[in-house]
Amino acid sequence: MARPYAHLLSPGRIGALELRSRILMTPMGTNQERGDGHLGEGILDYYEARARGGVALVIAGVAAITWPEGACNPNQAALSDDRFLPDWIELAKRCHRHGAKAAAQLQHASKVAQEDVKAGRPMWVPSLPEAKTGDLFAELSREELAKATSAYRAPGAKVAYHVMSEGDVAFLVERFADAAQRAQRAGLDGVELHAGHGYVLSAFLSPASNRRSDRYGGALENRARFLVEAIRAVRARVGADFAVWCRLDAKELRIPGGISEEDARRTAELAEAAGADAVHVSAYADPTLAMAFTEAPLVHQPAGFLPFAEAIKKRLRIPVIAVGRLEPELADEAIRDGRCDFVAMGRKLLADPELPRRLAEGRAGDARPCIYAYRCVGNVFLREASRCVVNPELGREAELAPRPAPARRRVAVIGGGPAGLELARRAALRGHAVVLHERERALGGRARLAARLDPESARFVAWLEAGARAAGVEIRLGAEASARSLAGGARDVFVVATGARRAPTAVSAPEGAPRVEPVEQLGELLDELSARRHVVVSGSDVIAVRAAEALAVAGHAVTLLELGAFAPEMGLPRRWRAADALARLGAVRVKGVTGVRPVAGGVEVRTAEGGRVLACDLIVEASGLEADEALVHALRAEGADVHAIGDSRGPRYLEAALLDAARLANEL
């Protein structure tokens, strides 16, 4: 019988670099580094967790070659000076101790160097960019907008450009070579030259941003000259035994006159001839358009970039690295069929750093699934540290590292939603005896609604339940527990995770008013509503937005009454996708709503401009949640040691609920 994932888990080589499998950790900007160019303990813990989890090669993202000049994040690692060497020596040691190899991705941010804007320095570009406006900031709250644009509001900030001379190109070629040599001296195993995503090398490669008339502009061979010279310079410094490769955009989407697929294939050939050991195939899109971001570089479509990698591989003798939402099964098949040689994973390894090890041990089903909520990259847009909705340990590896409990305690968890399940699982794994009480006949709580609407969320809810059962949690379904019965049950500690409750309304619907249903009934409503209806969804949090989208997909005429910011709980790229979906489906959004009241034939909506009545057949109520602390108070009255987590403390949603659970589990 063939070994599962035999091709994905087989050894491979990039130049002289021998790797234990074909799974690489893709380089990502995380904003988790220190603000002075040093890596810092937090990001080292982050990379070590992925090395420990079995990945073959950790590629540390966006190491600035001229830091602080040319940096894109306020907290970004540097390889621009020898004072940073100790950090990279430590990274190499941490990866190597777990059998993984380590590399650095070398970068100069060019026209997206926000740290240059913040400092009042001109951004280095091949040609003056054309002025463009887009909708990138359209769905940000006021607070988020302030964070996202903080660089532009800093004292002395200025948007200015410096068109690079040939001497400037030569200067940066040497800085790429300097940084690569430092990486080699630090004990790293290779470097990736970032020639994609709008950074300086790709800015020269793209005919849309490179309109030069000298030997670095015009024909493709001229536009690729900078990259070719950088590869040759790096190779000359580090020799043949140090792995060197580049990341390329296979295509620039929504950019008229941008990089074409044929451009990319020819550039890959030139990179190979210059001495590259591999080509890492990505893509790019108009950075001013919100929806474009999840087309490229962070592709939402499963295996969206694999055809690009396959086409480039047909032109090369060196290995090709594919990236972009590749499930392990498909990745294994792609390597088997010769469509690529290696697979770089990002979001999957953020959700579960142990994924490669689980695959190798035949435990693929134990892997925590990514739900593509995009908090990881959404935070970076807001100049905050990357986090993960489903994995609270991301960026908190030291704080939340699992460890045995000092004493075994008897723990009662009340509520089987995500917070309760995660707390129960973690507490049981620490050695506690855990009983989980859930009044419904099924686990998942309000997350069951998300599971109904989204297959990725369904996978995660199933993973939570399976994880709790596998950890040895005793689960009791279908019985509502009272404070008195619980307190008399010989438990040492009680954790209330019963979720939020909907605040009672004092307004009664008049005769002839539309039917009003809570959003929790959405699943039943979707089954029931056969004919097209005019539906109003009242609320603007993630649940309201997803409900509006689901109803619109089902063919109903939907109006979303936004009683606050648009789904601030969603990571920005997911929010952009939701807004785009509502627009494409013809849903109407009413912003700035201050009041909603059912009236005969519809709903009265109040905004700053006054009131008006919207006709509708059905109102789906998705607002008005509040903390439900009744059981907490009742247990405390019985003298119990009790804690509340998740929505029981007020609407906190999945990310905050899981973080609550993880932190409390480590304290028990």
SS (H, E, C) 501-518: EECCCCCCCCCCCCEEEE
**Tokens representing residue 129 in the block:** 């960019």
**Tokens representing residue 663 in the block:** 């932190």
Q: State mean pLDDT over 105-132.
A: 96
Q: State mean pLDDT over 591-610.
A: 94
Q: What is the DSSP string of 383-426?
A: TS----SS-TTTT-TTTT-----SS--EEEEE--SHHHHHHHHH
Which residue, among 579, 578, 576, 584, has the nearest Cα to 292 in the 3D structure? 576
| pLDDT band, very low/low/confident/very high, at 1 (cuts 50, 70, 90) | low
pTM above 0.75, yes or no: yes
* pLDDT of res. 509: 75
Average pLDDT of the chain, as a whole number: 95
Rg of the chain (C-alpha set): 27
Higher-confidence position of 551 and 131: 551
Residue 668 pLDDT > 80 = yes
Half-sphere exposure of 364 (CA within 13 A, CB side): 11
Phi, psi of 342 (to 5 degrees): -135, 160
Report pLDDT digits (tens) over 178-201.
999 999 999 999 999 999 999 999
Instruction: Out of 47-61, 148-162, 318-332, 488-502, pick the least confident.
Output: 488-502
Handedness of CA 228, 234, 239, 241 (dihedral sign): negative
Report pLDDT digits (tens) over 251-310.
999 999 999 999 999 999 999 999 999 999 999 999 999 999 999 999 999 999 999 999
Q: State mean pLDDT over 131-148.
A: 90
* pLDDT of res. 321: 98
| pLDDT band, very low/low/confident/very high, at 588 (cuts 50, 70, 90) | very high
Class of domain 515-623: alpha beta
Q: Report the percentage of the chain scoring pLDDT > 70.
A: 99
Which residue, among 44, 33, 29, 109, has the nearest Cα to 70 in the 3D structure? 109
**Tokens representing residue 651 in the block:** 């609407």
Half-sphere exposure of 295 (CA within 13 A, CB side): 16
> CB neighbours (10 Å) of residue 263?
21
What residues have CB less than 8 Å from 274, skipping those under 6 apart?
227, 228, 231, 232, 235
**CATH number of the 12-381 domain:** 3.20.20.70
* pLDDT of res. 58: 98
Q: CA separation (Å) from 65 to 13, 216, 321, 621?
A: 26, 21, 23, 52
Q: What is the DSSP string of 453-521?
A: H-HHHHHHHHHHHHHHHHTT-EEEES-PPPHHHHHTS--SEEEE----EEPP-SPPPPTTPPEEEEGGG
Domain boundaries, given as residue ranges, for the chain? 12-381, 410-502+626-667, 515-623
Angstrom distance (rounded) from CA 498 to CA 420: 8
Q: Report the percentage of the chain scoring pLDDT > 90.
A: 89
Angstrom distance (rounded) from CA 540 to CA 520: 15
**Eight-state DSSP code of residue 291:** G
CATH superfamily of 410-502+626-667: NAD(P)-binding Rossmann-like Domain (3.40.50.720)
CB 419 within 8 A of CB 645: yes
* pLDDT of res. 508: 66
Report pLDDT digits (tens) over 30-50.
999 999 999 999 999 999 999
CB 340 within 8 A of CB 322: yes
Report pLDDT digits (tens) over 499-554.
888 877 655 678 889 999 999 999 999 999 989 999 999 999 999 999 999 999 99
Half-sphere exposure of 242 (CA within 13 A, CB side): 25
Q: State mean pLDDT over 203-213.
A: 98
